[in-house]
Structure 1
Amino acid sequence: MFETLSWVHEGCRLSYGVEGAGPPVLFIQGVAVQGEAWRPQVDGLAAHHRCLWFDNRGLGSSQPLTGALSVARMAEDARALMDAQGWESAHVVGHSLGGLIAQHLALTARPRVRSLSLLCTFARGQDVTRPSLGMMWLGLRSRVGTRAQRRRAFLRIVMPPEVLASADEDALAERLGRVFGHDLADSPPVTMKQMSAMGAYDARARLGELAGLPTLVVSATADPIAPPRLGRALAEGIPGARFVEIPRASHGVTLQLAAEVNALLREHFARVP
């Protein structure tokens, strides 16, 4: 377990951890996932980077959730934690909803962001909150039936068929539940508010402002939440951005193929002067 720290910002005691030494890296997590889910990245990068992860407000130990929730407000939380560490700037890594938060942080506080790494994400939240029929069916299956059935259905959202074909699904669900911070059969109370905040955000018209900012966009071929077409469109909207598509991977690529993701991040950070 990481050592847990806290910092009060706008009525919420934000729970976070810091580990490693070197250039700072700020990790921002997605919907209903605690910061601890960045463990594979922190373990892989802390030897050469100072890594900070945190629970978004209203989730895990970052409580209480006060007032309205928005991508802009969560970006301010991220910036406040950089201030708490005395960081003038950092490499910023966001996954899914965390990618929107990272984009907003870069758009509103450009000097604070050394580079952007946007994983399994998109520029417009509605592209995800108004899902395809296939994704609606997966989502429904993760909310009905026995608890074991709901856990297994959730696995199909975050892991590709190749992994599940040879996995002990019950054991995998238990392991991911510990990493996510909740049983996969349940959704944290803040989940719908996070989804609403995500659906209200659209950065497409401003992506051009990020020209010149070293940006890596990573998609997973089998991701039903953020399919590669959304990642490709995001990368095309940011002049100079690099797009990478990882085959045989899904929305949980940071956990499934941590070594590959970490190698991409290290290479990306090393390119920044």
Structure 2
Amino acid sequence: MPTVQFTRDGTVLGAEIRDGDGPPVVLLPGVMADAATWRPVVEHLDLPNPVLVLDRRGRAGSGPLGPGYSVRTEVDDLHHVLGSLGDLGLSGGTHLFGWSYGGLIALEAAIGRTDLRSLTLYEPVARPFAPEALGPLREAIGRNDLDRAVELVNTAVSGFSDAYVAELRRSPVWNVLRPLAEPLADELGAIDDHRPAFGAFAELDVPVTLLLGAVNEGRPPYGTAFAQFERAMPRARVVRLPGEGHLAHASAPRLLAERITDAVKAR
């Protein structure tokens, strides 16, 4: 897809964009993902709207996390991007989607905004988020052992088996994941340092859809984090993805695209 760039305080923020007509749909990935990994979902979005997928800091095409990095850094980046959409000829309000860490960022950015048409969140995360994995991750990344970092995020954070990781290592996906692990420890640290504004989330004046991979229900870290957001937003529509966990963008992109499409069309 074509790419665009935004610049905030000297830091480049890249994005991929699919042309279309109508209010834009903005997708915000979480950790261990970038715009490229979300292309299969974008391809299956049955919408005429333009679609923009942001490459957050720490990804190819965007600048580094930078000193003093926090969730607020990401929220301010998203505010800047949303405020710059008019420069691309995109108007009419925004349908905002966030996955995982991207869901937390999207929610925090939604507070006080009046230009959002819908907000769709796939398993947003919140503290405590696998804090026991943070030390080993920092150690692995500090010695540039990105293979170990990818192992840890899949086992110590996501709970996948050693057999799953061994199979993943043999696949072409492994070399895609290695560079995405470089900012991982700082991103997870930012999540655990951040106190979500749950009280403000309940007051959001925008239609909210919460997506949950059904196999994660009640299970840490994703299902237990999801439950916090579900309790905080009793008016939100909750949709479960049967047979899916946290990675439906990779395992079931058509299904996930259909649920995002439903949320956008409902508005």
Q: TM-score range by the shorter chain?
A: 0.7 to 0.9
Classify 1:42/1:31 alpha carbon distance in 2 versus 1 (closer, same or farther; 3 Å). same
Contact 1:29/1:96 (<8 A) preserved: yes
What SS class does the counterpart of residue 56 from structure 2 fall into? coil
Contact 2:47/2:261 (<8 A) preserved: no
1:9 to partner: Cα distance = 0.7
Map residues 94-243 of structure 1 onto 2, 5 A cutoff: 94-109=98-113, 111-122=114-125, 125-130=126-131, 169-172=168-171, 174-175=172-173, 177-178=175-176, 182-183=177-178, 187-188=181-182, 190-201=183-194, 202-210=196-204, 212-223=205-216, 226-243=221-238
* Per-residue CA distance 1:195-226 (angstroms, 9 max, x = gap): 1221122222322222x421111122334664
Q: Give the AA of the match of 1:67.
A: P
1:169 to partner: Cα distance = 3.8
Contact 1:152/1:169 (<8 A) preserved: no
What SS class does the counterpart of residue 48 from structure 1 fall into? coil
1:14 to partner: Cα distance = 0.8
TM-score (norm 1): 0.78
* Per-residue CA distance 1:97-127 (angstroms, 9 max, x = gap): 1011100111132x122111111223xx213
Q: Which runs of 5+ in 1 are unaligned?
A: none
Q: Give the AA of the match of 1:120.
A: E
How far, CA to CA, are the matches of 1:194 and 1:114 in structure 2? Answer: 28
* Per-residue CA distance 1:135-175 (angstroms, 9 max, x = gap): 89x989x99xx9878766755666978x959x954454x23
Q: Give the AA of the match of 1:241.
A: A
**1:14 aligned residue:** 13
Of the two structures, which has the highest relative contact order with CA contacts closer than 8 Å and spacing of 6 or more?
2
How far, CA to CA, are the matches of 1:151 and 1:64 in structure 2? Answer: 19
Classify 1:149/1:194 alpha carbon distance in 2 versus 1 (closer, same or farther; 3 Å). closer
Q: Give the AA of the match of 1:199.
A: D
How far, CA to CA, are the matches of 1:153 and 1:73 in structure 2? Answer: 25
Classify 1:225/1:56 alpha carbon distance in 2 versus 1 (closer, same or farther; 3 Å). farther
Q: CA RMSD in A?
A: 3.3
Classify 1:139/1:119 alpha carbon distance in 2 versus 1 (closer, same or farther; 3 Å). farther
How far, CA to CA, are the matches of 2:33 and 2:119 in structure 1? Answer: 20
What SS class does the counterpart of residue 32 from structure 1 fall into? coil
Map residues 28-67 of structure 1 onto 2, 5 A cutoff: 28-45=28-45, 47-67=47-67
1:47 to partner: Cα distance = 4.8
**2:255 aligned residue:** 260
Classify 1:242/1:258 alpha carbon distance in 2 versus 1 (closer, same or farther; 3 Å). same
Identity %: 19
Q: Which moved more, 1:221-230 or 1:193-202?
A: 221-230
Map residues 67-86 of structure 1 onto 2, 5 A cutoff: 67-86=67-86
What SS class does the counterpart of residue 127 from structure 1 fall into? coil
Q: Which moved more, 1:240-249 or 1:227-236?
A: 227-236
1:41 to partner: Cα distance = 1.9
